[in-house]
């Protein structure tokens, strides 16, 4: 692949990643709502969807990284490195797509952390209830 084809593939992978991240974000919203309702069957189903979306996002991350390496980027923050290597319209287009993906992934991270705190709170409530109902018999 020449440089132009590599950049096009990188851009397409970035756009696809953003679509998946948006879907993942919406799925995380649904998980939170179902969790608040204690709808365990729905949470389980949505967790499976979230796992599949996360895996697709991970694969695209590695694909983008490989493409960036082929374009000469060696830095851990390859997306930033790639943007800085470009100029003009191409730089603007890649930067916009990268920024959008970054925001969506941050949104997913924040929602995941919020959900984790919710689950920990729910576990504590249940643990407290179980502890308060524990009957000890001393004979």
Q: What is the pLDDT of residues 66-92, one digit of tens each?
A: 999 999 998 889 999 999 988 999 999
Give the CATH architecture of domain 3-132.
Answer: Up-down Bundle (1.20)
Question: Residue 26 contacts by C-beta under 8 Å, 6 or more apart in sequence?
Answer: none
Residue 97 has pLDDT above 90, yes or no: yes
pLDDT of residue 94: 94
> Which tokens sit at 36?
């608040």
Average pLDDT over residues 54-64: 97
Residue 63 has pLDDT above 90, yes or no: yes
Radius of gyration of the chain (CA): 21
pLDDT of residue 139: 67
Domain boundaries, the chain: 3-132
Average pLDDT over residues 2-21: 96
Q: Give dist(CA 60, CA 77) in Å, integer.
A: 15
- Name the pTM for this structure: 0.84
């Amino acid at each position: 692949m020449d440089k132009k084809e590599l950049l096009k593939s990188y851009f397409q992978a970035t756009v696809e990643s953003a679509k998946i991240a948006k879907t993942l974000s919406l799925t995380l919203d649904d998980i939170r709502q179902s969790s608040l309702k204690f709808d365990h069957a729905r949470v389980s189903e949505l967790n499976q969807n979230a796992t599949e979306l996360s895996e697709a996002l991970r694969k695209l991350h590695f694909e983008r990284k490989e493409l960036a390496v082929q374009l000469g980027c060696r830095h851990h923050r390859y997306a930033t490195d790639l943007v800085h290597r470009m100029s003009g319209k191409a730089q603007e287009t890649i930067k916009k797509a990268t920024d959008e993906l970054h925001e969506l992934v941050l949104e997913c991270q924040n929602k995941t952390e919020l959900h984790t705190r919710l689950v920990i709170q729910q576990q504590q409530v249940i643990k407290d209830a179980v502890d308060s109902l524990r009957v000890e018999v001393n004979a």
